Structure 1
Amino acid sequence: MKYILRTSSMMLSALALSGFALCFSTAINAEQYIFPENGQSKEQQNLDKQSCHVWAIEETGFDPENPQVAQVVAYTAPITPSQPVEQGSDRGSGMRGAMAGAAAGAIIAEVGDDDRSDAAATGAAVGAVAGRRQSRRSNTQAAEQQAQAQQQAVQQQAQAQAAADQQTQLANTQGTDNYYKASSACLEAKGYSVK
């Protein structure tokens, strides 16, 4: 079970890092090619680019050099390792089985006119073994169900984080696209060809 939790933690970390890297790759790789159509000087180009950069940020609320899009975080309940189910943790199961077996043995001996104390002792021994066996079976089933529930929780958390990373990436892509449209409109209005 520790292996499952470690593997799941590594998987979540890898998903988070890959989503983080994808979010910023769009902003870093986007580029504008600007050509002065009216013979603007290099200094004028730099001033115009800077003023259009500031204007595009104000218009879109997005800066591709510093994407501050709120990262979407999927909330899931924290996965905590639960207490292992102890073998025979149902205390008294053997004693209850012994008492039930002793009573059954005494009743059977009474009906058959046998010695009740021997029958009760035999019934108690058989009942104790049966009670402990049932307790162990229940504990094993509980441990298996617990492991399955934890594995499902880890998978759900990984899926939710992947979806959140995808939403963040989409928001950054849209922000970048909107920024470059605004910047292009500004530069074109100032007499530049932008591609």
Structure 2
Amino acid sequence: MKQRWDHVIAKPGALVALMAIAPVLSAQEPYVYPAKGQSAEQMAADKAQCQAWATQQTGFDPLKAATAPQPTPGTQSGRGGLLRGGAKGAAAGAAIGAIAGDAGKGAAIGAVGGGVLSAAKHRRQQQAEQKAQAQQAEAQGAKSSDFLRAYGACLKGRGYSVE
């Protein structure tokens, strides 16, 4: 007995299009029922065309969104930045301390101050990166939702029941 999807495999374009969007939409893709008796081959072609149309309408391509590189945290590590800040503070403190008559005490104060300032700067950078990532994820979710609405509207227009 012939399998249901054998005729789709015979059409590589429809299969490739379906496979391309399947991983991206699988978690959120609505259930689609061929209400007018459309064949599996026709349904695969309609899904691919509706995916392209929804992308055009919303400016969001779930395939590109799924393969986009994730933002990486800052390259400066907390400890390295703290050590560099402390070293810079020590050098500045030693110079100021030398003028005041106690270079060692000035260096110690400068090292602590430089380390604290460096740690605070690093913490602010991390918070800004986390906030930007959260905003990006929120925007991505809204775009994905718009895409799915357009995708469903297209399929309904082609005679499918979409839930």
TM-score category (smaller protein):
0.5 to 0.7
Q: Larger Rg: 1 or 2?
A: 1
Q: How many residues align?
A: 132
Is 1:54 aligned with 2:39? Answer: no
Aligned CA-pair RMSD: 3.6
Aligned to 2:38: 40
Cα distance, 1:66 vs structure 2: 1.8
Distance 1:56 1:164, change over 3 A: same
Three-state SS of the structure 2 residue aligned to 1:185 is: helix
Structure 2 Cα separation of the partners of residues 178 and 91 of structure 1:
60
Cα distance, 1:70 vs structure 2: 8.6
Distance 1:190 1:64, change over 3 A: same
Structure 1 Cα separation of the partners of residues 143 and 61 of structure 2:
8
Paired residue type of 1:186: C
Q: TM-score, normalised by structure 1?
A: 0.56
CA contact (8 A) 2:35 2:159 kept: yes
Deviations 1:113-158 (A, max 9, x none): xxxxxxxxxxxxxxxxxx33xx332222111110000100110111
Structure 1: where are the runs of 5+ without partners?
1-24, 98-130
Distance 1:46 1:69, change over 3 A: closer
Cα distance, 1:172 vs structure 2: 1.3
Paired residue type of 1:179: F
Is 1:149 aligned with 2:111? Answer: no
Q: TM-score, normalised by structure 2?
A: 0.66
Residues 1-195 of structure 1: matches in 2 within 5 Å?
Answer: 29-67=27-65, 81-82=84-85, 83-84=87-88, 85=90, 89-90=94-95, 93=98, 131-132=101-102, 135-195=103-163
Structure 2: where are the runs of 5+ without partners?
1-22
Distance 1:69 1:162, change over 3 A: farther
Q: Which has the higher contact order (CA 8 A, sep 6+)?
A: 1
CA contact (8 A) 1:36 1:193 kept: yes
Structure 2 Cα separation of the partners of residues 87 and 155 of structure 1:
23
